[in-house]
Amino acid sequence: MSAPGAARLHGLMAEFRSARSLIRACERTHEAGYRKTDAYTPYPIEEVFEALHLHRSKVPLLVLIGGILGCLGGFALCYWTSVIEYPMNIGGRPHNSWPSFIPVTFETTILVASFFAVVGMLALNGLPMPYHPVFNVKRFALASRDRYFLVIEAEDSRFDAEETRRFLASLEPTEVFDVEP
Amino acid sequence: MAKEPRPSASDRLGKPPVLAPGHTTSSVTDQISAVILRGTPRWWYFAFGFSFLLVLLLLQSLTKLFLEGTGIWGLNIPVGWGFAIINFVWWIGIGHAGTLISAILLLLRQEWRTSINRFAEAMTLFAVACAGLYPLIHVGRPWLAYWLLPYPNTMGMWPQFRSPLIWDVFAVSTYATVSLMFWYIGLIPDLATMRDRVENRWSKMVYGALAMGWRGSAHHWHNYETAYLLLAGLATPLVVSVHSVVSFDFAVGQTPGWHATIFPPYFVAGAIFAGFAMVLTLAIPLRAIFNLQDFITLRHIQNMGKVMLATGLIVAYGYMIEIFMAFYSGNQYEEFMILNRITGPYRNFWWALILCNILAPQMIWIKKVRVTPALMWIVAMFVNVGMWLERFVIVVTSLHRDFLPSSWGMYAGTKWDWATFIGTIGLFLSLLFLFVRFLPMISIFEMRTIVPKSDSEEASA
């Protein structure tokens, strides 16, 4: 935070024309020691995740937890209803006629696991997010079309407005922008 | 566009491509979003207006039903299940192709699914909405339909979890919810694309709110891809379970013609068969109207035709096994049921069903038919009708002459049965027209991933 005014920035953004140049840039940014970085692409690119060294997604764990909860919950609902709260003799079947509880248990497993997948993904991504500084860059609208962006955030310990700007320029972007907070 | 795209494996085999050559990430974005940005074409008002009239017909028949009860339908003993169940099974079967295309073909890495999955999923949702209506209005007092759900109540009663009808409640509501989530999650990046494209302030706000601030961050994509894949993995067994549970509604009962172990797989195959027919019915006109031949190519039409042919043969096998088992069982009621189906008062329905579901799809063996959209559309229409007839035959022929000849009877839908049915077709079409007008009907971000990479980079660099 040496340069005056740097504190007012969210970060610096570089625009690239191709996924390949973005991937190269991400690799070099990581090598240069920047960690508070993000890449913005029009579609998911596996190599970018690798270049930025993203951690494994936590979504699968959440889905597993959701599935287990749904499974136990669904069976518990059938069991509690049919055995404890409202036992009925249907054709002499045992109250705990568990094979007939499988369809409901199965459906609740899928339902709760899917909920966890969707809500978990949104929560991990911090969505919905009504405001984000990157949208202050006019050209950023092209991130949903055909342009690729790399942002080094001001929070990064190595961030220095001038130094980082020079570094980004060395990655051969088409342009480097200041991202107002 | 100086460079020719590299020939892919499918080009070398002489198959039409999944995406017409020459497209880039920007051109797919522009061309698909242009369908929405161009404004409303005049035909849309007529098409939507006509469908909406049918929705009004639905509302009228529902009002009549709520005022007078299910007596306005053709239901009576012995046929206590009529149009409501036939249409329920028909609609929910149609929905299955959407999930199959979006989930199962995703897991099988079938790239061609990308340009049809979005509207196939939308079709699923709208079909499930139409299907879900029927059991609710069939309960007699629809305002008490929430009694189907397990909740603590002053009556001290709970649902019967050993009954397939309550399994159906869980299966269909789970299916509707998961399909909606899957569809919406798939839409988020495209809603962000629309937010960045539209000029109008209000449209920007609506798309922006729906996109939830999506910005295409790598961190987000990383979680997103994982979640999407897992949802596909969850939806795959779900879709198989839903129609299996629907078939249990029949198979668990001991009525002749229903009490068969073949029912779950035979129903699931029938659902996929009907669903692909409906996807073709919709895709063929839509690609022509919106000039989407670059994205929905002959390859898609051929592939869908092949899936339809394969599932159609499984369904044909189901019909044969039904006949075989009726005689092999040595049970006189089963034997009578099948003879009554083929030669009894409803024989025309059965023979029409064989024509529509078994004979007509055999045309797809001929390549000339597969690559001619108009002919494929006609075959698909045969299947749409055939699958409705199949459900009619299953429901009605088993019930109208069961064990006791003194209680035999005949069944026919009344004008209110038909009005309700046509009304739900109107509801389906209205929702579909709204969908193609306001949401990207092809998944834009997934199309960007199948643009030949070398090509797009060189073109824009």
Same domain for A40 and A63, yes or no, is: no
Same domain for A99 and A49, yes or no, is: no
Encoding tokens for residue A46? 């596996």
Predicted pLDDT of residue B119:
86
Give chain A's mean pLDDT. 86
pLDDT digits 0-9 by tens, B206-250 = 998 999 989 888 889 999 999 999 999 999 999 999 999 999 999
Same domain for A119 and A65, yes or no, is: yes
Alpha-carbon distance A34 to nearest alpha carbon in chain B (angstroms): 15
Same domain for A33 and A49, yes or no, is: yes
Query: Could you give the percent of chain B with pLDDT greater than 70?
Result: 95
B148 has pLDDT over 80: yes
Angle, helices B117-138/B263-289, rounded to nearest 10 degrees: 130
Residue A152 sits in a domain whose CATH number is 3.30.70
Predicted pLDDT of residue B3:
44
ipTM (interface predicted TM): 0.90
Predicted pLDDT of residue A7:
54
Predicted pLDDT of residue A1:
43
pTM recorded for the entire structure: 0.90
Return d(Cα A107, Cα B173) in angstroms, integer: 9
Predicted pLDDT of residue B390:
93
DSSP H or E segment with residue B259: none
B112 has pLDDT over 60: yes
Predicted pLDDT of residue B2:
41
Return d(Cα B124, Cα B118) in angstroms, integer: 10
Predicted pLDDT of residue B4:
46
pLDDT digits 0-9 by tens, B347-371 = 999 999 999 999 999 999 998 998 8
Same domain for A50 and A86, yes or no, is: no
pLDDT classification of B297: cutoffs 50, 70, 90: confident
Alpha-carbon distance B332 to nearest alpha carbon in chain A (angstroms): 25
Same domain for A35 and A79, yes or no, is: no
pLDDT classification of B100: cutoffs 50, 70, 90: confident
The residue among A96, A97, A146 with the most chain B CBs within 10 A of its CB, best to mutate, is A146
Nearest to A144 among B156, B193, B225 (CB): B193
Predicted pLDDT of residue A138:
83
The residue among A64, A84, A104 with the most chain B CBs within 10 A of its CB, best to mutate, is A104
Structural domain for B192, as ranges: 41-147+158-448
- Number of domains comprising chain A: 2
The residue among A37, A48, A145 with the most chain B CBs within 10 A of its CB, best to mutate, is A145
Predicted pLDDT of residue B458:
43
Predicted pLDDT of residue B453:
61
Structural domain for A86, as ranges: 59-124
Return d(Cα B391, Cα B381) in angstroms, integer: 16
pLDDT classification of B13: cutoffs 50, 70, 90: low
pLDDT classification of A111: cutoffs 50, 70, 90: very high
User: Over the Cα atoms of chain B, what is R_g?
Assistant: 23
Which stretch of A115-124, B63-72, B96-105, B145-154 has the lowest confidence by average pLDDT? B96-105
pLDDT digits 0-9 by tens, B312-356 = 999 999 999 999 999 999 999 999 999 999 999 999 999 999 999
What residues contact residue B441 under an 8 Å CB cut-off, 6+ apart? B32, B35, B118, B119, B122, B286, B290, B435
Predicted pLDDT of residue A75:
96
Instruction: Report which of A140, A160, A161 is spatially closest to residue A150, judged by C-alpha positions.
Output: A140
B246 within a domain of the structure (yes/no): yes
- DSSP character for B253? S
B11 within a domain of the structure (yes/no): no
Predicted pLDDT of residue B459:
42
B31 within a domain of the structure (yes/no): no
- Number of domains comprising chain B: 1
Cβ distance of B215 and A40 shorter than 8 Å = yes
pLDDT classification of B414: cutoffs 50, 70, 90: very high
Predicted pLDDT of residue B110:
81
Cβ distance of A118 and B181 shorter than 8 Å = yes
Cβ distance of B162 and A77 shorter than 8 Å = no
Residues of chain A with Cβ-Cβ distance to B234 below 8 Å are 63, 110, 113-114, 117
What residues contact residue B181 under an 8 Å CB cut-off, 6+ apart? A114, A115, A118, B231
Numbers of helices and strands, H then E, in chain B:
19, 0
Nearest to B162 among A100, A113, A143 (CB): A100
Cβ distance of B231 and A114 shorter than 8 Å = yes
B181 and A CB contact within 8 Å:
yes
Supply the DSSP string of B20-40, one letter for each residue.
Answer: -TT--HHHHHHHHHHHHHT--
Encoding tokens for residue B416? 């209110």
Domain boundary (A108, A124, A140) is at A124
* Locus of tokens 């060189």: B458
B117 has pLDDT over 80: yes
A55 has pLDDT over 60: yes
Query: Pairing between strand A11-16 and A37-40?
Result: unpaired
Same domain for A51 and A138, yes or no, is: yes
Instruction: Report which of B128, B120, B240 is spatially closest to residue B186, judged by C-alpha positions.
Output: B120
Same domain for A52 and A99, yes or no, is: no
B237 and A CB contact within 8 Å:
yes
B436 has pLDDT over 70: yes
Contacts of B34-38 spanning 24+ positions with Cβ under 8 A = B35/B290, B35/B292, B35/B436, B35/B440, B35/B441, B36/B194, B36/B437, B36/B438, B36/B439, B36/B440, B37/B197, B37/B198
Same domain for A21 and A51, yes or no, is: yes
Size of interface A-B (CB pairs under 8 A): 195
A102 has pLDDT over 90: yes
Alpha-carbon distance A132 to nearest alpha carbon in chain B (angstroms): 8
Predicted pLDDT of residue A2:
45
Give chain B's mean pLDDT. 88
B219 and A CB contact within 8 Å:
yes
Starting at the edge strand found earlier in the chain, the sheet holding A11-16 runs A37-40, A148-153, A11-16, A175-179
B33 within a domain of the structure (yes/no): no
Predicted pLDDT of residue B341:
93
Residues of chain A with Cβ-Cβ distance to B251 below 8 Å are none
Same domain for A149 and A165, yes or no, is: yes
pLDDT classification of B86: cutoffs 50, 70, 90: very high
B121 within a domain of the structure (yes/no): yes
Residues of chain A with Cβ-Cβ distance to B150 below 8 Å are 77, 81
Residues of chain B with Cβ-Cβ distance to A101 below 8 Å are 161
pLDDT classification of B456: cutoffs 50, 70, 90: very low
B187 has pLDDT over 60: yes
Cβ distance of B218 and A20 shorter than 8 Å = no
Task: Report the 3 state secondary structure along B267-309.
Answer: HHHHHHHHHHHHHHHHHHHHHHHCCCCCCCCHHHHHHHHHHHH
